A and B are shown apart, each in its own frame.
Chain A
Amino acid sequence: MIKQTLCLFITALFLSLPIHSTPDTAYAQLSSLKTQIPSSTKPAVLIMDSVDLLHNFEVSPKRDKLITKVGGVYFIIASGQSASMNKSDAGYMDLWFVKNSQPIPNSNCRMSVDNPVSNSVLITQFLISLAPGDTIGTNFSANAPSLGFVFTQPDNEPANTSFLFSILKVE
């Protein structure tokens, strides 16, 4: 009888604790100030060398993925500033998410770089479940040499980063 009552009491107490607090909030904002050009047409890993905001995530030592600390459903969005470093090269670039080193199905998006002197933004977004310890990163590819995500610093404007990555916990 004592055990039962104690169990009921402790369960009730613990259940009531997390309802109005948000101990499991998690979000991150990362970017890259480096121009990233793949060395071949094979998939390459995107580096996020600049951490703007980070809560309940850890950046891997190579700065190419985030390590999840809190399980939940997350919204992720990534964008790359695609351009050509050579005025004679044109083609297209792909961008997709990678969870635990495996590509997330259907997360790939493509943008053409038809005019080698123009810039465009390649974006992909997804909602996905992540468990503590899961890693999340972004891969990209280009079908022509000199195509990649390019960093520029315009006068009197914020830096135009080569890559932006935002993640936030929805549940």
Chain B
Amino acid sequence: MQLFSKKNCLVASMKKFAYFLSPFLVALPLNADVAYAQLSSLQNQIPSSSRSRPIQMEIVHEMKNFELGPKKDTLIVKEDGVYFFIASGQIGSLQNNATGNVDLWFVKNGIGISDSTRRESLDKNNSAGLAISQFVTTLSAGDTIATHFATSRPLLGLVTIEPDGEPKIASFLFSIFKLNPEGELQ
């Protein structure tokens, strides 16, 4: 009788504690604000003029808490935070006879991010280079982030290469991730 009573008491206590914890556990954001994306492009992107244009990133390798815009040239942010991002364009020419510069920079909500431009020069025909830029900035839910580029010569641009016995060389790589999953920097 005494044992039965003790058991009942223990059960009741544990039930009470479990029910007490439940709402807190449900409310806790278990990695809810982690955000990252890895995108690339296998399209040759050669502008017809020296005007700037957005870079396509039609291949999604990894994506969490982002959305790719309908034109596949913009990411839409879902989580507020401070983000690190890095973009690299494989610079070259399909004609193998172009030299000049390619500039690459980031665009947030349709406006170029100040000081984010990087330039790569190709001094010789038939050569390959990389235009790389990286940045850390604050992004809010609903913000868009993209990469634009411009070339000094019409035949220059971002090219895809298929070497024998190696993985394809993407014309563009874009990586982004949130730095502060627990919100310390906000």
Contacts and interface: CB of A to CB of B under 8 A. Distances in A.
Given A16-B21, A109-B90, A125-B173, A170 B34 contact: yes
B88 A112 contact: no
B14 interface: yes
B38 A108 contact: no
Contacts of B169: 94, 108-110
Given A19-B28, A112-B127, A96 B90 contact: no
Interface string B158-179: 0001010111111001010110
Most A C-beta atoms less than 10 A away, residue of B123, B163, B167: B167
Given A19-B28, A19-B30, A92-B127, A8 B18 contact: yes
Contact of A124 (B10, B15, B31, B173): B173
Contact of A127 (B37, B90, B168, B170): B37
A105 B130 contact: no
A116 B42 CA distance: 30
A83 B135 CA distance: 27
Interface string A85-122: 00000001010100000011111111110100000001
Nearest to B12: A5
B90 A110 contact: yes
Contact of B36 (A8, A106, A127): A127
A108 B168 contact: yes
Contact of B38 (A8, A110, A112, A128): A128
Contact of B25 (A2, A12, A108): A12
A109 B130 contact: yes
Interface residues of B, number: 48
A9 B14 contact: yes
B88 A105 contact: no
A92 B37 CA distance: 29
Contacts of B170: 106-108
A117 B90 CA distance: 23
Contact of A105 (B21, B25, B167): B167
A105 B168 contact: yes
Interface in A54-108: 73, 75, 77, 92, 94, 96, 103-108
Interface in B118-132: 122-124, 127-130, 132
Contacts of A15: 25, 30
Given A2-B10, A170-B36, 13 more contacts: A8-B15, A19-B28, A42-B165, A43-B166, A103-B166, A108-B169, A108-B170, A112-B122, A123-B88, A123-B132, A128-B61, A170-B34, A171-B36
Interface of A: 1-2, 5-6, 8-9, 12-13, 15-16, 19, 42-43, 73, 75, 77, 92, 94, 96, 103-112, 114, 122-129, 139, 141, 170-171
